[in-house]
């Protein structure tokens, strides 16, 4: 019996090697002057920003560049970028980079469109709602992990309050997502591993969440299979085009899946961990995924037992009890790509645990509500302790 569901992902996806070249015509259809948002000077140095500016100019689209954005973008950086875009007359925001650049571009599109600081839309009793005033967004992803090019979410960090909420609405999907695996070849092994693990965590969580749909289930199953097949290869040899291609597609499938099925307890925890300790998102997910799987699997055993099977690229579940086997398969992958570092090695301290668990309950409550085992604060503390 197919369950009732709704599904809405209004993103034009342009996928394939060399598709950066399509950016000119795509952006021309929605704006006259683009702000190209990147995290730091890396892509200026490698010439990628200039390549994109040229492609845009050839289509008659002017551009300005803003690079003052950190990995895990800060709300203050987003406000500064929105002010820069306003001064420069930009009417479309392009995130060029990983999730941080794309989320920053989304944040600037919200802040500038509503002429309000971005944090007004993030937290608090008077949290502003995101409307159609949001400027159009284009996402050009250079990592294969967050799937931000396919989601409505933007994850924004406040260093003063140590909070890292995810915000989004139907207006914050990218109008166009360009997924060009060629742009991912330059990712170092560590970034490939941690971003690739983020894509796996998305696929596991959206697959097992109470909001999973028959469509996102297909996406998640294929994404898990592709990650099992290609993540080790992409980490070992960044120039392996087939592996980069497979990971790029898995990343986008994972993104589409969390746009609808959302994320569960592990992402709830990872946001709060990132707010308190400024960790690398994919690394903290790797530290906590085995324990969160063990915690949640009794709530959705049929799905959890499939995970190991898809990671091994098998299509037949041999009928044994496969639950713990799925966790062990994930742990094998974590070790093989060098992500087997507990939270304590990532700068999280025993004394941070209560604050992290409180943060999940306070501003990532949705992620625990849709987890199949609906954890309490006590459960969160227990998972964090086991993941140190
Ligand atoms: P990132 O964007 O922070 O990038 C990590 C580092 O890799 C940066 O220094 C960046 O310059 C570099 N980099 C990116 N692409 C590269 C390339 N091709 N070659 C060489 N270096 C490259 O990493 P990320 O994991 O993609 O994004 C993390 C952020 O996204 C976090 O804030 C996380 O919370 C958020 N996130 C958002 C969503 C969403 O749906 N919006 C989902 C998951 C995570």
CA of 29 to the centre of ligand 1 (A): 27
Protein residue whose Cα sits closest to atom 31 of ligand 1: 72
Contact 29, 61 (CB under 8 A): no
User: What are the C-alpha distances in Å from 246 to residues 147, 235, 251, 379?
Assistant: 14, 13, 9, 35
Beta carbons within 8 Å of 32's beta carbon, 6+ residues apart: 61, 62, 91, 92
Cβ of 296 below 6 Å from ligand 1: no
How does pLDDT run across 83-139, given as a tens digit for each residue?
Answer: 999 999 999 999 999 999 999 999 999 999 999 999 999 987 789 999 999 999 999
Q: Which of 143, 167, 182, 205 to mutate to test the pocket of ligand 1 (most atoms within 8 A of CB)?
A: 143
pLDDT at 163 over 70: yes
Contact 247, 199 (CB under 8 A): yes
Contact 268, 258 (CB under 8 A): no
Rounded-to-integer distance, Cα 9 and Cα 121, Å: 21
Cβ of 301 below 6 Å from ligand 1: no
Residue 179's pLDDT is: 98
CA of 5 to the centre of ligand 1 (A): 31
Cβ of 146 below 6 Å from ligand 1: yes
pLDDT at 320 over 60: no
Q: Which of 146, 244, 367 to mutate to test the pocket of ligand 1 (most atoms within 8 A of CB)?
A: 146
Cβ of 359 below 6 Å from ligand 1: no
Q: Which of 9, 17, 71, 244 to mutate to test the pocket of ligand 1 (most atoms within 8 A of CB)?
A: 71
How does pLDDT run across 321-375, given as a tens digit for each residue?
Answer: 678 889 999 999 999 999 999 999 999 999 999 999 999 999 999 999 999 999 9
Rounded-to-integer distance, Cα 327 and Cα 194, Å: 18
Residue 278's pLDDT is: 87
User: What are the C-alpha distances in Å from 38 to residues 63, 66, 85, 99?
Assistant: 13, 6, 13, 10
Rounded-to-integer distance, Cα 209 and Cα 222, Å: 17
Rounded-to-integer distance, Cα 31 and Cα 90, Å: 8
pTM: 0.96
Cα-Cα-Cα-Cα dihedral of 263, 11, 182, 204, to 10°? 20
CA of 1 to the centre of ligand 1 (A): 38
Q: What does the block give as tokens for 294? A: 């063990």
Contact 311, 292 (CB under 8 A): no
Neighbours of 303 (CB within 10 A): 20
Contact 165, 307 (CB under 8 A): no
The radius of gyration of the chain from alpha carbons, rounded to an integer in Å, stands at: 20
pLDDT at 318 over 70: no
pLDDT at 319 over 70: no
How does pLDDT run across 210-229, given as a tens digit for each residue?
Answer: 999 999 999 999 999 999 99
How does pLDDT run across 3-59, given as a tens digit for each residue?
Answer: 899 999 999 999 999 999 999 999 999 999 999 999 999 999 999 999 999 999 999
Closest CA to 305 of 284, 289, 326: 326
Cβ of 40 below 6 Å from ligand 1: yes
pLDDT at 181 over 70: yes
For the chain, the average pLDDT equals 96
Residue 317 confidence class, pLDDT cut points 50, 70, 90: low
Closest CA to 94 of 129, 125, 59, 127: 59
Neighbours of 57 (CB within 10 A): 12
Cβ of 23 below 6 Å from ligand 1: no
Which domains, and CATH codes, for the chain?
12-184 (3.40.50.1970), 189-386 (1.20.1090.10)
| Residues in the chain, total | 388
Residue 125's pLDDT is: 79
Does residue 154 sit in helix, strand or coil?
strand
Cβ of 284 below 6 Å from ligand 1: no
Cα-Cα-Cα-Cα dihedral of 219, 295, 286, 339, to 10°? -120
Of the chain, the end-to-end C-alpha distance in Å amounts to 41
CA of 189 to the centre of ligand 1 (A): 14
> For 236-244, what is the mean pLDDT?
98
């Amino acid at each position: 019996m197919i369950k009732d569901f709704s599904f809405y992902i209004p993103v034009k996806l342009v996928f394939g090697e060399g598709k950066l070249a399509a950016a000119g015509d795509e952006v021309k259809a929605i704006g006259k002057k683009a702000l190209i948002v990147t995290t730091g000077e890396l892509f200026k140095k490698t010439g990628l920003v200039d390549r994109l500016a040229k492609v845009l100019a050839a289509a008659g689209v002017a551009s300005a560049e803003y690079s003052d954005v950190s990995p895990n973008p800060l709300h203050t950086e987003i406000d500064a970028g929105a002010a820069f875009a306003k001064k420069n007359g930009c009417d479309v925001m392009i995130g060029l980079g990983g999730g941080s650049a794309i989320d920053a571009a989304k944040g600037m599109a919200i802040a500038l469109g509503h002429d309000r600081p971005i944090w007004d839309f993030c937290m608090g009793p008077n949290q502003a709602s995101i409307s159609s005033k949001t400027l159009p967004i284009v996402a050009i992803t250079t990592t294969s992990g967050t799937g931000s090019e396919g989601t409505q979410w933007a994850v924004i960090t406040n260093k003063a309050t140590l909070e890292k909420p995810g915000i989004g609405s139907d207006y914050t999907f990218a109008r166009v997502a360009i997924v060009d695996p060629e742009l991912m070849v330059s990712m170092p092994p560590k970034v490939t591993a941690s971003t690739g693990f983020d894509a796996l965590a998305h696929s596991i969580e959206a697959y097992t969440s109470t909001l999973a749909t028959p469509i996102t289930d297909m996406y998640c199953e294929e994404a898990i299979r592709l990650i099992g097949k290609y993540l080790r290869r992409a980490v070992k040899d960044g120039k392996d085009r087939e592996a980069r291609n497979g990971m790029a597609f898995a990343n986008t499938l994972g993104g589409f899946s969390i746009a609808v099925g959302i994320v569960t307890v592990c992402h709830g925890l990872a946001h709060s961990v990132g707010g308190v300790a400024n960790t690398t998102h994919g690394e903290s997910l790797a530290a906590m995924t085995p324990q969160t799987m063990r915690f949640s699997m009794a709530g959705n055993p049929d799905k959890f037992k499939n995970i190991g099977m898809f990671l091994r690229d098998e299509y037949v579940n041999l009928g044994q009890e496969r639950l713990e086997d799925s966790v062990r398969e994930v742990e094998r992958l974590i070790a093989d790509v060098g992500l087997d570092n507990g939270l304590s090695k990532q700068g999280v301290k025993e004394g941070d645990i209560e604050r992290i668990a409180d943060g999940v309950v306070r501003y990532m409550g949705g992620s625990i509500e849709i987890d199949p085992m609906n954890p309490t604060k006590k459960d969160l503390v227990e998972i964090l302790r086991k993941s140190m």
